[in-house]
Structure 1
Amino acid sequence: MDRTSNARGIDGTNGGAQGRQKLRPGRSNFGKSTGNTLGLKWAALQDAANAVATIAGGAPEIAVEEVRHFPLAIREAGGWRLRHAEQGIEDLTSIMEPGLTALLAALARGANPQAAALALWNEYIEARNALLELLPPNRHMGRRTA
């Protein structure tokens, strides 16, 4: 399978030097991996996790290199590692989506969901770290914990 992308950027180019997407403040930069479904899902999970961290009373996490490059690294690893990562991302999404929705609904009603957000944040960290363990041993970098 060819790893090159035919996806077009916002300006219609295919990602050459002039077509590179500029970084937006407050958004994680996940590099070339955002051109595929795995990268997009991973980026959405990181955004959701940062919202949960904020509701829990913490500061949004600054993504370390291992987290930022996970989609690309796991695609390069391929095989069983990629299959398990794809399933793990689906599983984590199925936890985070309704969890964040419930937290936002609680906030909208004037409740304080900080304890629930902290519990969801801890679940996210455990699941994310398990996904990072799928990387081949030579791809591991420093890991942050909550």
Structure 2
Amino acid sequence: MSAMSHEFDLSQATMLPPVAASPRLLGDVATLANQWEAVHEAAAAVGHLAQLGREEPSDEVLALPLRAAETGGYTFEAVARGIDDLSAVMQPGLRALLAITAQGKDTTAAALTLWREFHHARAAILSIVETD
């Protein structure tokens, strides 16, 4: 018996490999590095609200944008998208924490939860680019 076909039936689809990205320009690496730093500044603020000390990032963390650019292609794109996604989580999360703090309420538990989510997401992004 054959299954009914509809617009979401991907059983007959051909999956194409990712298009090789062109070599990255220095500006792209600088932009990625700035975004990576901004996400970490937001994480530092969340860590403060969670009553944690400021984290000293490892060399592996600091060098991610450069390692991604050296690898290039799909890896660079995946890292860039991962950082964009992490930023999309951190910005509204930090805004919400600051709004709650402005009301004089305790944000420790919520900030700690966002802090943990940041670390899980950062570990996933770091795993995209293998270290030596």
What does 1:47-86 align with in structure 2 at a 5 Å threshold? 47-86=41-80
CA offsets 1:22-58 (integer angstroms, 9 cap, x no match): xxxxxxxxxxx6xx21111000001000110111111
Distance in 2 separating the partners of 1:2 and 1:132: 19
Structure 2 equivalent of residue 101 of structure 1: 95
Quote how far apart the aligned CAs of 1:79 are. Answer: 1.4
Distance in 2 separating the partners of 1:105 and 1:60: 21
SS state at 1:112 partner: coil
Contact (CA 8 Å) 1:77, 1:136: kept in 2 or not? no
Identical counterparts, % of pairs: 39
Quote how far apart the aligned CAs of 1:91 are. Answer: 0.6
Q: Extract unaligned runs of 5+ from structure 2.
A: 1-22
1:120 equivalent among 89, 104, 114? 114
**Structure 1 residues 99, 4: CA separation in 2 closer, same or farther (over 3 Å shift)?**
closer
Matched, 1:91 2:85: yes
Quote how far apart the aligned CAs of 1:2 are. Answer: 7.0
Contact (CA 8 Å) 2:42, 2:90: kept in 1 or not? yes
RMSD between aligned alpha carbons?
Answer: 1.5
Contact (CA 8 Å) 2:49, 2:111: kept in 1 or not? yes
Runs of 4+ with deviation above 4 angstroms:
1-5
- State the number of aligned residues: 109
CA offsets 1:37-85 (integer angstroms, 9 cap, x no match): 1111000001000110111111010011011111111111111111111
Contact (CA 8 Å) 1:56, 1:115: kept in 2 or not? yes
| Structure having the higher Rg | 2
TM-score, normalised by the number of residues in structure 1:
0.70
TM-score, normalised by the number of residues in structure 2:
0.77
Q: Extract unaligned runs of 5+ from structure 1.
A: 6-32, 139-146
**Structure 1 residues 82, 116: CA separation in 2 closer, same or farther (over 3 Å shift)?**
same
SS state at 1:133 partner: helix
Q: Which has the higher contact order (CA 8 A, sep 6+)?
A: 2
